[in-house]
Structure 1
Amino acid sequence: MGNLEFHAELDTRGLFCPEPVMMLHTRITDIAVGEVLRVLATDPATTRDIPRFCQFLGHDLVDQGEQGGEYVYLIRRRDA
């Protein structure tokens, strides 16, 4: 994932579908357009759900990765 800068973080570790995406939907509106939100998750369903969320709502999935059963996503908010 490198050292990409993020402005806020959402920790959904330990939660399962649909909670991570529901929380993301609320949290993304708390940051300014153009800022990056880092999302931490343990639910494998997020590998499908978060990219679809970004595509559907027009946000940029800047990066995503998995390490040791944890998933990390960097999402840039767009004026969707």
Structure 2
Amino acid sequence: MNFDKELDARGLNCPLPILRCKKSLADMPSGQVLKIVATDPGAIKDFQAFSKQTGNELLSSAEAGGEYTFFMKKK
């Protein structure tokens, strides 16, 4: 998937991946896509909830080898 910016949140525990995501999205124009890579298993539910609360679209989420990759489109 194409993305405009990447956020490495590996090794960070809740709520840091969400806070860093929020900060990154704030610096991006509407419609751009942010790729987030995290290692916290709680990030799956966190990013789903964050998407619903903020209106930013969670395009996809996947897990491979203990790493979780999310693609979020800024509203």
How does the TM-score come out when normalised to structure 2?
Answer: 0.97
Distance apart, 1:31 and its partner CA: 1.1
Q: Which runs of 4+ in 1 moved over 6 A?
A: none
Q: CA RMSD in A?
A: 0.6
In structure 1, the gaps of 5 or more residues are none
**Residue by residue, what CA displacement relative to the aligned partner does 1:27-73 show, whole Å, maximum 9, x if unpaired?**
11111100000000000010110111011000100111000000000
> What secondary structure sits across from 1:6 in the alignment?
coil
In structure 2, the gaps of 5 or more residues are none
% same residue = 36
State the distance in 2 between where 1:59 and 1:42 align. 21
How does the TM-score come out when normalised to structure 1?
Answer: 0.91
Question: How many pairs were matched up?
Answer: 75
